Amino acid sequence: MSALSDPHEERRRTTRPVWEEKPGMLLSLGKGATLTLVVLAVLFPMWSIVVTSLASRETINRVGGMVVVPREFDISAYVTMLSGGQVTRALGVSLFVTLVGTCLSLVLTVLTAYGLSRPSSLGHRPLLFFFLLTFLVYPGLVPSYLVVSGLGFKDSLWALIVPSAINVFNLVVVRSFFMSIPGELFDSARIDGASEWRVLTSIVLPLSKAVVAVVGLFYAVGYWNAYFNSVLFIDDNDKWPIQRVLQSYILAGQSPHVAGVAVNIPGITTYPPTLAIKMAVVVVTVLPALVIYPFVQRNFTKGVIVGAVKG
Amino acid sequence: MNDPHVSSAATLKPGKRAIGARLRRDWPFLAMTAPAALLLLVFHYLPTLGNVIAFQDYNPFEGRNAFEAFMKSEWIGIENFQVLFADGAFWDAVINTLSITAFQLVFFFPLPILLAILLHGLVSARLRALIQGIVYLPHFFSWVLVVTFFVQMLGGAGLLAQEFHRHGLTPWNIMSNPHTFIMLVTAEAVWKDVGWASIIFLAALSTIDPTLYEAAAADGAGRWRRLWHVTLPGLRPVIVLLLILRIGDALNVGFEQYLLQRDAVGRQAAEVLDTFVYYDAIVPQQWGVGAAAGLFKAIVGLLLIVSANKAAHRLGEQGVYSKT
């Protein structure tokens, strides 16, 4: 299957075929209700959390907690959260880990995928086996912990990046895309004297923007969402990523004072409600995924992932 | 590469000279693969080999670094496994893990298939794309976020409890009830991943030849008979593939989800194998026993996937890998 074309796109129906009977009233109603319910189940919690983060103390006190109907647009919770302190610092940590990690992972993944994309090259089969074997044979928690901490990564942000820098599933996705590019394109470039490096950067990569974008999103989401590796390796809470702060602040119920979460009181009267600050932390933790997602989502259907799964 | 032994190429056998020539041609590919291979060697294969400390009384204070400690630690045979298998908490964790897997095979596994069939049946492509965009989204949320969402909606201080209070009813806290925990984690997993998991079924649905439906309709098959005789057989290979993968992964139910909720629910319901290893090996530094549990999990997982694949071959399905 070629990853460059999308069979789904071509066959997409916009009208009902003539032989298909019109669905009954009950069936249509059932389908519509189910899909509406599924969509609401995703959107409603997000809505309520955003509205609560923007609510004033009076509103939160009146409804007794989470707010559903927006009454005001009070950004004091965000101001407090971002005015220094642990949440601000954790956002910086997570941004650093995500940006540096994604760049490193993408470079490694693209290089390796290209290095493994020529079945005739020296040592191709054993090398490919070396990478694919990781799916069947994997280390347990204890030896992994001992190796990473033994290499001196404890309390270093690199512990959140380097051990997870290459994901073999993403590698397989990129590799099968590279292999679907017609070989004549490379051959003509090589005859013209282009080095492999040149072929990769000038021919392969420009054709692979969609797959690189999707895999980049996967890596970025992985780094941003990682929680447990910080439990294992980061004791110093100045270096905690945002997920860890969210956990200690909301799920473990540490008060912001104990957890050191930003409580810079600009004036007693504008002190925002705790619940609003909590929900504001949730919102900024969701935000990066929400912002990047629409740009990349189009590419999911372009056969990128599906091609790899089938190939 | 500048090995002096290679310089006298004339004296080498033809096969070796070919390797030299291929190396000169292919070294860029090898160089591009090397960094990632090195990373996997250090962070994947080295710890995999490190599992041998399951047969040691591993003590990190024996040496200045982990390797020296490994060399100096005493070999004790299968004592760690004896300790592990005598531990009731370990078997509780195994049983919890397998129960959750079985429960989710029944109550989670079919849902993405149903969702995919529903979405595929939508006539408007734009509406379908919109719904897809929304239902894929939670897949990109972290477990910390998903659990937070559930706490804020269904927890003791969440929206549902608020409504109960307002109507003078006593709310029950779903988030900390060990008896319903298995349903809770399944609901969370469905909320997070049902959309994402439907992608592969949607792809399989789009490869079913539309003329099959037309022919079936011409032969008088109604909506449900077409679903049964055309759609489901078309999905069969993908369903079998995913079923094998899930069974091979039976001892992996996800880790962070349980780690995050174990304190609220208690270990008797929420302890799975991975959290057992974390709380009973890493936290108290029982390295040998922890490695034994990890090795147990890896070997059972390997056996499960190989036998599930064998069963699929026997049923005439393709499976995950073929017998080549």
Residue A15 forms part of a structural domain = no
Residue B238 forms part of a structural domain = yes
Q: Do A140 and B295 touch (CB under 8 A)?
A: yes
Q: What is the CATH number of the domain that holds B223?
A: 1.10.3720.10
User: B79 or A267: which carries more pLDDT confidence?
Assistant: B79
Q: Do B142 and A138 touch (CB under 8 A)?
A: no
- Could you identify the residue written with the tokens 């409804």? A63
Identify the domain containing residue B218 by its residue range: 208-324
Alpha-carbon gap: B233 to the closest alpha carbon of chain A (Å): 17
Residue B169 forms part of a structural domain = no
**Rounded Cα gap, residues B170 and B163, in angstroms:** 10
- Cβ(B277)–Cβ(B69) below 8 Å: no
Q: What is the CATH number of the domain that holds A182?
A: 1.10.3720.10
The tens digit of pLDDT for each residue in A226-282 reads 999 999 999 998 899 999 999 988 877 665 443 444 444 444 334 567 888 889 999
**Rounded Cα gap, residues B247 and B249, in angstroms:** 5
Residue B289 forms part of a structural domain = yes
Q: What is the pTM of this model?
A: 0.87
Residue B220 forms part of a structural domain = yes
Of the candidates B122, B264, B291, which has its C-beta nearest A140's C-beta?
B291
Residue B30 forms part of a structural domain = no
Structural domain count, chain B: 1
**Rounded Cα gap, residues B48 and B54, in angstroms:** 11
From A93-107, B10-24, B125-139, B223-237, the region with the lowest mean pLDDT: B10-24
By the CB < 8 Å criterion, does B280 face chain A?
A: no
Alpha-carbon gap: B82 to the closest alpha carbon of chain A (Å): 18
What's the Cα-to-Cα distance from A281 to each of A236, B34, B160, B303, rounded to whole Å?
A: 20, 40, 21, 43
Q: Do A17 and B137 touch (CB under 8 A)?
A: no
Residue B74 forms part of a structural domain = no
Residue A53 forms part of a structural domain = no
By the CB < 8 Å criterion, does B32 face chain A?
A: yes
Q: Hey, how many other C-beta atoms are within 10 angstroms of the C-beta on B98?
A: 15
Q: Do B137 and A289 touch (CB under 8 A)?
A: yes
Q: Hey, how many other C-beta atoms are within 10 angstroms of the C-beta on A104?
A: 18
Identify the domain containing residue A204 by its residue range: 75-310
Q: What residues in A contact B217, CB-CB < 8 Å?
A: 19-21
Residue A159 forms part of a structural domain = yes
Residue B120 forms part of a structural domain = no
The tens digit of pLDDT for each residue in B112-140 reads 999 999 999 888 888 988 999 899 999 99
Alpha-carbon gap: B106 to the closest alpha carbon of chain A (Å): 19
Residue A105 forms part of a structural domain = yes
Residue A69 forms part of a structural domain = no
**Rounded Cα gap, residues B208 and B221, in angstroms:** 17
Structural domain count, chain A: 1
Alpha-carbon gap: B270 to the closest alpha carbon of chain A (Å): 16
Cross-strand partners of A115: none
In chain B, positions 285-324, which contact chain A (CB-CB < 8 Å)? Answer: 287, 290-291, 293-295, 297-298, 302, 305
Residue A177 forms part of a structural domain = yes
Alpha-carbon gap: A253 to the closest alpha carbon of chain B (Å): 11
Per-residue b or e along B251-279, where b marks 16 or more CB atoms closer than 10 Å to that residue's CB: bbbbbbbbbbbbebbebebbbbbbbbbbb
H or E segment to which residue B75 belongs: strand B74-75
Of the candidates B37, B66, B115, which has its C-beta nearest A146's C-beta?
B66
Contacts of B114 (CB under 8 A, 6+ apart): none
Interface pTM, i.e. ipTM? 0.85
DSSP B93-127: HHHHHHHHHHHHHHHTTHHHHHHHHHHHT-S-HHH
Residue B224 forms part of a structural domain = yes
pLDDT tens track of chain A, all 311 residues? Answer: 334 444 444 444 557 777 777 778 888 899 999 999 999 999 999 999 999 999 888 888 888 888 898 988 888 888 888 887 888 899 999 999 999 999 999 999 999 999 999 888 888 999 999 999 998 888 889 999 999 988 989 899 999 999 999 999 999 989 988 998 888 888 888 888 888 888 999 889 999 988 898 899 999 999 999 999 999 999 998 899 999 999 988 877 665 443 444 444 444 334 567 888 889 999 999 998 888 888 777 776 554 554 444 43
Residue A30 forms part of a structural domain = no
